[in-house]
Amino acid sequence: MRHFLTLGAAATLAVAVTVALAPQKPAVAAEYPDKVVQCIVPFGAGGGTDRWARIMSSVGFDVFDKGMRIENRGGAGGTVGWKHMLDKGVDGHSILLASPTPVIAALLEKKPPFDPRKVKIVAYYSIMKPTLVAPKDKPYSSWDGLVKHLKAGGKKVTIGGTITQTLGPASMLSQLGLIDRVILVTYADTGKAVNDFLGGHIDLVTVTTSTAINLAGKANVILNATDLDYPKKAAQALGDVPNARTLGLKPFNPPRFIAMHPDTPDDQVAAMSKKLGEMLKSKPVQNLIGKLGEEIIFRPHDNAAKAYEEVIAESKKHLPLFK
């Protein structure tokens, strides 16, 4: 007996065979990541980004099962660490904790070591609050005093810090037409800038919230360059600090973000973003970050990737301040 397939049945079978034989895009394994996550910090040990990384890694085994290892690769405004991440290639297990500092540092180079637009943004994990600190008993020991001093033609003052931190007060002073009255001194990491400030080698220093808390008893905290309020603990320690909103100036709200190699598959980026979100929601991480006076502000990869485009645009706009 002969058996015949109808035209419709034959077509259906052909499609089924084609689909079965076609190469399928591998799905992210349920246990991903299945190796230790390598967290690259493009700054020296002891700085703000390094503290965040080590606090997050404290729950690495709980979230990733395999743990998270910190690797400090500081130098050249964070570009050394960023380049290291790129040179490692696509492995799906290396992440970079960064800020706009290496973005701006790369854009300032005539021949940038990398294109900061070519990267996969995994998430935002906080918004930095560039905080300007001044010595006590100086004409510029308060924000109003600093503005008055510069308008009166007093001696130029030096403001030091990482590129991102320094850009905060620089942007404020630029809006007031006073940027020509200051000298910006950029550092590879906050620790070196603080040491020079305490040693009297620079007049003012711009730091993270947690570092400002540590300096509050020794110096005056005179400006928060964002339009965001400090967390409760920090506000209690720092007192009534003027910010861009209260001064009627345009704020500078630089993000802390997590990135991966630009060729990392999107499904791995999404999975990593989800895991890092779980990490930041854990009570131990929230408690320790709170004790630092910092604040967790999480944005998943889709939202963060769109916002990162604004970081590039803002960074390019402010480049003349450093030339």
Range of the domain at 86: 37-127+254-322
DSSP label of 93: S
Quick check: is 13 in a domain? no
Quick check: is 3 in a domain? no
Q: Are residues 43 and 191 in the same domain?
A: no
Beta-bridge mates of residue 134: 220
What pLDDT is recorded for position 237?
94
The pLDDT profile of the chain, 323 residues, written as one tens digit per residue, is 434 334 344 444 444 444 444 444 445 556 789 999 999 999 988 888 999 999 999 999 999 998 999 999 998 889 999 999 999 999 999 999 998 999 999 999 989 999 999 999 999 999 999 999 999 999 999 999 999 999 999 899 999 998 999 999 999 999 999 999 999 999 888 889 999 999 999 999 999 999 999 999 999 999 999 999 999 989 999 999 999 999 999 999 999 999 999 999 999 999 999 999 999 999 999 999 999 889 999 999 999 998 999 888 888 888 888 87
Last residue of a domain, one of 247, 277, 293: 247
Tell me which H or E stretch contains 134: strand 131-134
- For residue 160, give the CATH number of its domain: 3.40.190.10
Closest by Cα among 205, 151, 202, 160 to 181: 151
Q: Are residues 135 and 209 in the same domain?
A: yes
Quick check: is 1 in a domain? no
Q: Are residues 230 and 266 in the same domain?
A: no
Quick check: is 6 in a domain? no
At which residue do the structure tokens 């991480």 appear?
285
Q: Are residues 137 and 243 in the same domain?
A: yes
Last residue of a domain, one of 247, 265, 280: 247
Closest by Cα among 254, 86, 64, 99 to 168: 254
Report in angstroms the alpha-carbon separations of 89 from 95, 119, 223, 271, 305.
11, 12, 41, 19, 20
Q: How many CA atoms lie within 13 Å of 187's alpha carbon, on the beta-carbon side?
A: 23
Distance CA 272, CA 274 (A): 5
Could you tell me where the beta strands, DSSP code E, fall in 144-241? 157-161, 182-186, 204-207, 220-224
pTM > 0.85: no
- For residue 56, give the CATH number of its domain: 3.40.190.150
Last residue of a domain, one of 182, 212, 247: 247
Q: Are residues 146 and 195 in the same domain?
A: yes
Q: Are residues 73 and 163 in the same domain?
A: no
Helix-helix angle 100-108:79-87, to 10 degrees:
90
Q: Are residues 263 and 217 in the same domain?
A: no
Number of domains in the chain: 2
Quick check: is 263 in a domain? yes
Distance CA 130, CA 166 (A): 7
> Tokens in use for 257?
């973000």
Contacts of 155 (CB under 8 A, 6+ apart): none
| Cβ atoms of 40 and 84 closer than 8 Å | yes
Q: Are residues 242 and 275 in the same domain?
A: no
Q: Are residues 117 and 196 in the same domain?
A: no
Q: Are residues 104 and 51 in the same domain?
A: yes
Quick check: is 30 in a domain? no
Distance CA 209, CA 168 (A): 13
Quick check: is 264 in a domain? yes
What pLDDT is recorded for position 212?
95
> Tokens in use for 105?
């540092």
Distance CA 64, CA 182 (A): 46
Tell me which H or E stretch contains 61: helix 60-64
